[in-house]
Chain A
Amino acid sequence: MNQENRIKDPYYRSLTRKMLIIFIAVSIAPLITVSGIILNRFSVSYNEKLNAHLGELVLKHRQNIDGFLLEKLNNIRFMARSFTVDELKNEKFLRNNLAALQTEYGSVFEDLGIINDKGIQDAYAGPFKLENARYSDTEWFRKAIKSDFFISDVFLGLRGIPHFIITVRQMSNGKPWILRATISFVAFNSLVENLRIGKTGFAFILNSKGEFQSKPGFEVVHEKSYSFYESIKSGRKTKDGVFFSEMTDASGQKNLYVASLIKNGDWILIYQQDKSDAFSDLTHAKQIAFFIILIGGIVIIVTAFLLSKRMVARIAQADGEKELMNQQVIETGKLASLGELAAGIAHEINNPVAIMVEEAGWVHDLMEEEQFSSKENKNEFERALLQIKTQGKRCREITQKLLSFARKTDTCVEDVRINDVINEVISFCVQRAKFSNVVIKSNLQDNLPLLCLSHTEIQQVLLNLMNNALDSLEKRGGIITLTNWLEGDEVVISVADNGPGIPRANLARIFDPFFTTKPVGKGTGLGLSICYGIIKKMGGEIDVRSVVDAGTTFYLRVPTKKND
């Protein structure tokens, strides 16, 4: 089996798959866990920080606005207390005062007016012609006349321009009068307009009815209704009086609202920002994190894929080498006892077989005297008896081989030139090799020492190995290589074929007597057992290495010096 085929084997495929899964799981799990935790912590803390920041911002602006309103109120109060109503009713005086305020505070104060308890403006200083204007029916007047000071909502009033007023009530001769100042909407609005963050963050002010008290920087898609105001107020409230809430507006955009009550709860300052804009840094960070995870994941998967593939290839290669190195360590003890067993069986079988053959012979003898009714019967008898004789002989051959595997005594030994024996064996096999389309190659060393062993025995062993090699190559042809060399004080002879090889399961048994893969009657399974017996007796070793689909090599190691 070559490397490619081996990797396609289902076993290696599932191994690759398992490795891949483990690699990916082990690598990606921590990546995702760590990034997930970090991202989560980051988003939580970012959220907190953003909320804190926005809360701070809103608080600061609340202070600004409240401070602004208070300052303006104090200005007016100061004026109302400093002067009598008669002084202020003098239009010139009033105008001087307005001019003084405008010099001090810019165009914040638009005009000043004195209103008597009937709601009639007795005196007026400002750009509009509002002398003797009647305010008795207006809502702000009803409120202003009842309290010491009052700051109105934004309204259009008589002049038709959005503005709001600050009033201070004073008593004169038991009758209340009011000093009224108009605050420029533009000046006030700039306080709120300044609060701009990011692309979509802006602020606006609503009164308790949900009406705008400032000009929003962007269109607020919410209905400027009381319900909006209420839902803002029902948001999470901090101890500083800041409300946090999230709402989806009519256009489906998620907005973040941070609000705080101003003007003693009459108005509410609302900061609105598109959530995605507010969290754009976080979103950006998330995008980076996802990108890193994605790239990391791809790298991990690719690496895991390559790595597992390579590792499995290595394993497959190692397995292949192991198979190559699956050189059979012959169990000497097992074969020795098998030898004795075989010898015992041989003896015990041989006698009954001898008797059977003898009896058959006797029947044959007697047949000569008999008159057979038909000639056919006689022929059949003779054939049967001959068969018994033939099979008896076959048994004898088997027992003979068995005994030669088991025998221990020495036969005549002589000095043998091993190359001569090998060449002789090759010459025996050449004819058969030609028929099987097998090429026999030899690679023999010339200067090998003489071996002291039985010529016929070593010949028998080599013939046996050659015959096995030829058998394995019979169908497809191939090459048999005979090689010898000196290794220490041993001569090694190798007989290698490039045939189908011996499967691992069989390799352990090839030296066992009667083990054969040939069909019944074709081989006794004794050839290698006998080889083993002979080589062992010489004090040598026989072993085998085989790779399926690549070939089999037998190694004979014969000592040059006879071990006594």
Chain B
Amino acid sequence: MDEISVLLVDDEREFLETLLKRLLKRRVKVKGVGSGEEALKFLRETPPDVVVLDVRMEGMDGIQTLREIKKIKPLVEVIMLTGHANLEVAVEGMEVGAFDYLMKPTDVDELLYKLEDAFKRKKIQEQKIKRLEEEKESGKE
């Protein structure tokens, strides 16, 4: 399986760094940024496969960032990470297009599974699009 490239977005620097280290140790190609704005900037430059997005952040919050991500890169899968045990926010995130949500403190292995699932879905989506494009091209021929 291809290596998953992941972007971690969280304004809690300590949390971000530790999670980064743990994911890197599990051979995940992961980068971390501290805010929604940075995430969007990073996304434009080097789009990752999956974004893990904290809901509660200074500046742009998780839901806003999610909307932007879906505008810029609709194929990028987003996993919401919430300190809120507030299911309503999670539900809202799902409606906007998040792949799934996880609650802090999270189990790193659980996160890995979700990442893989998200990555798979992304691959499937990409393949679908590819197929559609091929059909389109063959249709032209």
Whether B105 pairs with A399 at a CB distance below 8 angstroms is no
The 5 residue pairs across chains A and B that have the minimum distance between CB atoms: A400-B85, A357-B105, A354-B104, A354-B105, A350-B83
B138 within 8 Å of A (CB atoms):
no
Q: Which residues of B contact A351 (CB under 8 A)?
A: 12, 15, 83, 104
B21 in the interface, Cβ–Cβ < 8 Å?
A: yes
Interface assignment of A393: CB less than 8 Å from any CB of chain B: yes
Bound state CA distance, A241 and B83, in angstroms? 120
**Interface of A toward B, CB cutoff 8 Å:** 346-347, 350-351, 353-359, 361-362, 365-366, 389, 392-393, 395-396, 399-401, 403-404, 407, 409, 411
Question: Is B103 interfacial (CB 8 A cutoff)?
Answer: yes
Interface residues on B, range: 20 to 34
Q: Are A354 and B86 in contact (CB under 8 A)?
A: no
Q: Find chain A residues with CB under 8 A from B19 CB.
A: 358
Interface of A is mostly: helix
How near does chain A come to B9, taking the closest CB pair, in angstroms?
Answer: 14
Q: Does B84 make an interface contact (CB < 8 A)?
A: yes
What separation, in Å, do the CA atoms of A403 and B83 have in the docked complex? 11
**A210 to B22, alpha carbons, bound, how many Å?**
139
Query: How many Å from the CB of B80 to the closest CB on chain A?
Result: 14
B15 near A354 with CB under 8 A, answer yes
Residue of A whose beta carbon sits closest to that of B12: A351
Do A392 and B105 contact each other (CB < 8 Å), given the known contacts A358-B18, A358-B19, A365-B22?
Answer: yes
Chain B 73-110 interface 0/1 with A at a Cβ cutoff of 8 Å (1 = within)? 00000000001111010000000000000011111100
Least Cβ–Cβ distance between A420 and chain B, in angstroms: 24
Collect the chain A residues with CB atoms within 8 Å of residue B104's CB. 350-351, 353-354, 396
A-B contact pairs, 9 of them (CB 8 A): A355-B12, A355-B18, A356-B105, A357-B106, A358-B22, A366-B25, A396-B85, A396-B104, A411-B88
Residue contact A407 to B86, C-beta cutoff 8 Å: yes
Counting CB contacts under 8 A, is B121 at the interface? Answer: no
CB-based nearest B residue for A368: B25
B2 within 8 A of A: no
* A residues near B18, Cβ cutoff 8 Å: 355, 358-359, 361-362
Give bound CA distance, A361 to B85, whole Å: 21
Contact string, B53-77, partner A, CB cutoff 8 A, digits 1/0? 0001000000000000000000000
Most chain A beta-carbon neighbours within 10 Å: one of B12, B15, B105? B105
User: A351-B12, A365-B22, A365-B25 in contact; A358/B105 too (CB < 8 A)?
Assistant: yes
A409 to B89, CA, bound (A): 10
Whole-angstrom CA separation of A401 from B18 in the bound complex: 27
Q: Identify the closest chain B residue to A356 (Cβ).
A: B105
Bound-state CA distance A347–B61 (Å) is 14
Shortest Cβ distance from A397 into B: residue? B85
Q: Is the CB of A354 within 8 A of B21?
A: no
Q: How far is the CA of A24 from the CA of B55 in the complex (A)?
A: 78
Complex Cα distance, B21 from A332, in Å, reads 47
> With contacts A356-B105, A357-B105 known, what are 11 further pairs, Cβ within 8 A?
A351-B15, A354-B15, A358-B19, A361-B107, A362-B18, A365-B25, A392-B105, A399-B85, A400-B85, A404-B85, A407-B86
